[in-house]
Amino acid sequence: MQLFSWLSQKVVQLSAITLISIGLTLTGYGIYIVSLILFKNYDGYFKFDSDFGMFGQKYGALVIGVSLIIFGIFGILGSTAKKVCFQRGFLILHHLSVLLFGILFVVLFYLLNFKSKEYFGRSCESTQNFKELSDGVKSANESFCSVKCPCNLDATKFKDKSVLRGKVGFSSSVLPSNVQSCVGFDTEQYKYPVQLMNILEMNFSCSGWCTSTSIFVFSDINRGNTSGQSCFLKFQKYYEDYVTIMGFISLGLGILFMLSFSFIFYLYCGKHDLEKQRAQELRLLCK
């Protein structure tokens, strides 16, 4: 009985420390994103119509990170508190959080290890969204830095200047630095490709979707040379190298949180019963 009580306490504490660790990571990332937005005019995110969507992208990681730290602290306090009222109060809040994140990480395991294969295990035009993305990228490549849409092109920003052959443009702030600013390009029709490719180019330095392009089309062209890899191939490689491992890590975290969820019930009731049993034994010894 005492062993099970000790084990329950340690599992809950481990889940609490894990929540705090994830929370610290997300908080650090959130601070990084906020600093980019405030000080470097970072633009690598989706432009949602709702204020909530924009707030979530900008400050979501920070808010979730701080919340996880708080819930993790509740778990540690609840598993170590001496007074029953404090113990149960803290554990209830931690209990809800481990249930939520236990389910979340198990679902994430399924999405990463099974569902994502439907997308990145096939061709770059295997789904409707991918086809739309590919069409949008092709249209953008035809328009940008062409006679239709001369671009703000600063050749000094490129180490390999051979990629600029056939490109129409010169260094002038009057000219567009990305395809979104081209008058002839339909940004409404290709709203999804424009936003996604802007994010991919900004964060992964890839270009193009099915095949790589010689310049950045959806972000600032004067960022210089691209990585030479298409964004679809970049994601395929990322999937092969990291996503499967991340999926199993998610499964492990899901199991840990669900175990913690189960053991918390014992800390609610079993620990109290153990204390009552000890009190009865002590009374018997005193008689």
Q: What is the pLDDT of residue 277?
A: 56
- What integer pLDDT is reported at residue 187 of this predicted model? 82
CA distance 47 to 196: 10
Please give the Cα distance from 249 to 255 (Å, whole number).
Answer: 10
Tally of CA atoms within 13 A in the half-sphere of 125 that contains its CB: 10
In the prediction, which pLDDT does 209 show? 92
pTM: 0.64
The number of helix segments (H) and strand segments (E) in the chain equals: 8, 2
pLDDT score recorded for residue 90: 75
pLDDT in tens, the chain (287 residues): 566 667 777 888 888 899 899 999 999 988 988 888 787 766 666 665 567 667 777 788 888 899 889 988 888 887 776 666 666 677 777 778 888 888 988 888 888 778 777 776 678 888 888 888 899 899 898 889 999 899 999 999 998 888 888 899 988 889 999 998 898 788 888 888 888 888 888 888 899 999 888 899 998 999 998 988 898 888 888 777 777 788 888 889 889 888 888 877 776 665 555 555 555 555 555 55
pLDDT in tens, 136-152: 899 898 889 999 899 99
Q: Report, in angstroms and rounded to the nearest whole number, the Rg of the chain calculated over CA atoms.
A: 27
Tokens of 270: 């079993």
Q: Look at residue 127 and give its three-state secondary structure.
A: coil
What is the pLDDT at residue 100? 87
Tokens of 225: 């040379």
Beta-carbon neighbour count of residue 88 at 10 Å? Answer: 17
Q: Can you state the percent helix, strand and coil of the chain, rounding each to 5?
A: 70, 0, 25
CA–CA distance, 113 with 280 (Å, rounded to integer): 52
Ordered by start, the domain boundaries in the chain are: 2-119+245-286, 125-229
Other C-beta atoms lying within 10 Å of the C-beta of residue 162: 8
Rounded CA-CA distance 153/203 in Å is: 21
Find, among 15, 186, 41, 159, the residue nearest to 97 by Cα. 15
**Rounded Cα gap, residues 283 and 287, in angstroms:** 6
- Helices (H), ranges, 41-152: 51-80, 84-110, 117-120, 128-143
pLDDT at 175: 93
Contact assessment for residue 26 and residue 68, using Cβ atoms and an 8 Å cutoff: yes
CA 243 to chain centre: 12
pLDDT, tens digit, 9 for 90 and up, residues 84-120 = 666 667 777 777 888 888 898 888 888 877 877 777 6
Residue 152, strand partner residues: 170
- What secondary structure letter does DSSP report for 152? E
